[in-house]
Structure 1
Amino acid sequence: MKELVDATGLTDADGQPLYFLPHDLRRIFATEAILNGMPPHIAQLLLGHKHIATTMGYKAVYPQEAINGHRAFIARRRALRPSEEYRTPTDAEWEEFLGHFERRKVALGECGRAYGTSCQHEHSCIRCPVLRVDPAQRGRLEQICDNLTLRITEADREGWIGEAEGLRVSLAAAKGKLAQLDHRDRQSTTVFLNVPKFPEIAGHIVTLAESARAGSFPS
């Protein structure tokens, strides 16, 4: 690089020959990339910087230049996507969107199904894997387990084999929800391990007389 710069005859503002270090190429790359529309956070990843301030310090890029570059990047990305994704939703669509979250609220907690999807378990929430039980409803869930147990006993007594089979599936799902609550409680509980104690280990000082009687001396 020194030979190439010497051959060009380039000088700095003071008339001194220019000298480049390999690290200067990173600064040149960052400057050109950001000024030509690359978002600063993308340049940060490419350069491996921990903080974006380091990337911005590689060149005196004015904040407005960085903002304009980022906006240009977003505009190019949006041009590649369907235009209907960026239209203003109608009042009916907005009400439908808000209503989805209202319908996710159930007695035992909240349903986690995705927006725009219907209930695939015919509103049998106790069996649904995306039901997230509210810890405050643990008592209600325990009552459901007790009720299912009684209904299974009745179905077995009356010979309702199909009914009993379905109830057992619901009971297993309910117990699974209780196990999930127990697991979450254990994760949120801090266990104090305390400092271990060894009372059975006692210090003993061996005297010279004791060693002599034992036939050995301490080293």
Structure 2
Amino acid sequence: MTLDEDRLRRLGKQISEKAGARFVLGIVGPPGAGKSTLAEQLRDILNEAGRVALVAPMDGFHRSNAELDAMGARARKGEPDTFDADAYVAALRQVRAGNRVEWPTFSRVTDEPVPGGVVIEDEPIVITEGNYLLLHEGPWKDVRSLLDEAWFIDVPDEVLVPRLLERFLAGGRSREEAEAKIAASDLRNAALVRATRDRADLVL
């Protein structure tokens, strides 16, 4: 677990008490930090407490591999411009407004986005997680104002690298390909994301 369960339950209680018609929490951190795990654990705790929460991951807005190939950016997949940030912001505005949203998710099996992977209806709490929620450039700069609260997970590179290596190997990459991707892209992304941590309400 990213956090001990008692602390996570206390944080979940605080979120429940703040939630009204719609509360949007952003969980931010470098690749491999455990954002998805934390978001899912928090969702489950909130639902146990009687609040209905959903996770809406930023990863659903990865550009398709065909788009990345056309951009010549397949090898850089995961960097800020390899996401459709405009679409992510537009969807987040709809969530913020309390509307029904068919939110895409991402399949690590096909390595492609899945349209409508989760449907947000009238749930009072939506947890969105991703790398670039606090980035202050391009369309990403509009995300922070759409979040009621942002939490940052800070994990050192010596922890991230083995996690990313395991992820890529499980996804079918060779060790050589995985290590090259981590060195050329993921660690650079991690440094970029860490530079945004001072915009978070809470650092974990």
Shared fold per TM-score greater than 0.5: no
Q: Bigger radius of gyration, 1 or 2?
A: 1
Give me the TM-score of the superposition, normalised by structure 1: 0.18
More strand per residue:
2
What TM-score results when the alignment is normalised by the length of structure 2? 0.19
Tell me which protein shows more helix as a share of its residues.
1
Q: More relative contact order in 1 or in 2 (CA 8 Å, sep 6+)?
A: 2
